[in-house]
Every structure is written in structure tokens, then in C-alpha cells.
Amino acid sequence: MFEKVSKSFFRTPLHKLNYELFSKLNINLYIKRDDLYPISGGGNKGRKLEYIINNKAKKKYNALVTTGGSQSNHIRASLIRAKELGWKSHIIIHEHKPQVEETGNLKLIKLMADKVTYVDIKDVAVSMDNAISELKREGYNPMYIWGGGHCLEGTLAYHNAVIELSSQLKKIQPQYIFLASGTGATQAGLVSGAKQFFDDCKVIGISISRDAKKGKNEVYNSVRQIEKHLGFNRCSMKDIYFDDSFSGGGYDISYKGLDEIIKDLAKFGIILDKTYTAKAFYGMIEYALQGKLKPNSNIIFWHTGGLLNFLCP
């Protein structure tokens, strides 16, 4: 199923979804299956970590410090890669320590991490700096990875993923790409890549928590960073579409309609979750129902993963 494109990087499948609902909506829907990225749990964080770790490994790191929530897909992917390399790890979780049995990503985090520290979100930066200093005192050379893999390498992973998509679509031109957007690096990579390979394609990030103004600024800043790195200047703020209408009011907050979307897609072996991908898929369907999409459009839904989030109570 998977094809390596270099020593470490993989292609993920592109599926066309033939579903009566979409024929009624008059759209052609393709799903980019990054939920099947071949690192335990899959998802966009796995793809980003391949770029982050491989780019930085030449600096002879042997430990890492990173952060996220208790069900962070990024932390889980980071720890799997760190353990494969034999690195030590210190994880900063910006939540109170749960009083119930660990499930989902947190269960895996507790299995793999050498040290887990729970802090208030306002104390994350200081706590990460302290963890880096502690590991250095112990003789390690630790890598600092900000939450969500929000960095140049993470954005580059998704710029290059558009090249991968282009080869899979062949002569088909997409008019829209929808995805669940969090810290913004994944969307930024898709925006810069789409501007290079599909100039008329709009990348629409459906926010899973952030308000529109902050989210749009974060995406744009990452786009500017990747374009500077790659040596071109094609995108402007008007190319950034970040919609907070379907976030439910915050991270991991569910609402009516998500369960039905999840059940519908499960019939096709595609698992969505209420924290990330179901919100994005729901938003995409609403765009079609409200006539916001051009008739007979080719649409890519970029499935960024979330199986372990789905399995959490």
C-alpha cells in the first residue's frame, strides 16, 4: 500500500469516495489518507515528524522535549520516533494530571516517555526550557520540538505532500482542499504547495479550536516562512482561508451532527474523530449544502488522522 519516496518518507493513498450524498451535492470528492501514514496511529503528525527528526538528526541529538495536551497526536508520534532512535524523552503536558485511568494517546505517552510533567498552559515555555536544561546537565543533547510540530520542517512536509498529491491526481485539477487546522503548519504547507502546483485551488482550514483571526495569522506567518525558505513569494493573506464556524467553541468540544458524519464515513472504512477530522468533514459538507463550492468541483479532503482520539471516551 505504501511507497517510499526516499529513505524514510512514504506516500499515502488517495481514494475517490463514491457516495450518494456527494452526488446530490454535485461534488467530486477525493480523500488523501494521511490517517494511514505508516507510523503507529498514523496522521499528519507522523508525516511531519519524519521531516523534523530527519532534518535535525545530523546534529547528533539523543533526546527530545516536546509539548501538547493529554491526547496529543503530536506527542505520540514524537515519542514513537524517539524510542525507535533510542532517545531519552521529557514530555510537557499542558493540562492537570488526570485522576482517571489513562486512555488513547495518553496511555501510549505514559508507556514510552521517560518523564512526563503536567503544567498550566501559561507555564509551557518555561517548563520546556527547564526540561532542556535538565537533560543537558545529564549529558544529553536534546531536541526542542514545539507543540504540533509547528516549525519550518513540519510545514515543508506538507508543501512536499502537495507534490505527492499532484502525481496521484495526474491531470485532475482540484478546486478545493479541506482539512482540520490546529496550530497551522499543516495548512501552511498545503497553501504554499497548492499555490505552486494548483494555482486556482483554495485550501480551506476548518479550525478545531482557534478563533479565525489568530488562526489565519498563524497560518500566514508559517506560509511566509516556508516561502522564504524555498525562495519564492506567491501567497498573500487573501490566500488564507481559516474558518472557525465549526470548532464547537473549543478543542475537543463536540456538537450535534458529528456523530452522523462519523457513522456515515465508518461504513466506508474511514474513521473520523470529534476533535479534528469530523469537524473538518462536517464543515466541508456544510460548504457544499450552502452553495459555497463551485458545481462539480474536485475536492480533496485531507484526512489528518485521529483514530486514537476516536477511541477515547
Residue 56 maps to which CATH number? 3.40.50.1100
Q: What is the mean pLDDT of each run of 10 residues along the chain (313 residues)?
A: 47 88 85 89 85 73 92 88 92 88 84 96 96 98 90 93 95 96 95 94 96 96 96 95 94 87 91 93 95 94 85 66
Could you tell me if 127 and 51 lie in one domain? yes
Could you tell me if 80 and 35 lie in one domain? no
Could you tell me if 127 and 157 lie in one domain? no
- SS3 state of residue 234: coil
Could you tell me if 32 and 105 lie in one domain? no
Question: Residue 272 and residue 34: Cα distance in Å, rounded?
Answer: 12
Contact 232, 200 (CB under 8 A): no
- Structural domain including 285 reads 3-44+151-311
- What pLDDT is stored for residue 129 in this prediction? 97
- What pLDDT is stored for residue 56 in this prediction? 58
Could you tell me if 37 and 59 lie in one domain? no
- What pLDDT is stored for residue 103 in this prediction? 77
Could you tell me if 112 and 175 lie in one domain? no
Of 149, 170, 201, the position where a domain reaches its end is 149
- What pLDDT is stored for residue 58 in this prediction? 58
Contact 182, 68 (CB under 8 A): no
Domain count, the chain: 2
Closest alpha carbon to 32 in 18, 17, 48: 17
Could you tell me if 114 and 230 lie in one domain? no
Of 104, 121, 149, the position where a domain reaches its end is 149
Could you tell me if 96 and 83 lie in one domain? yes
Contact 118, 96 (CB under 8 A): yes
Of 106, 122, 149, the position where a domain reaches its end is 149
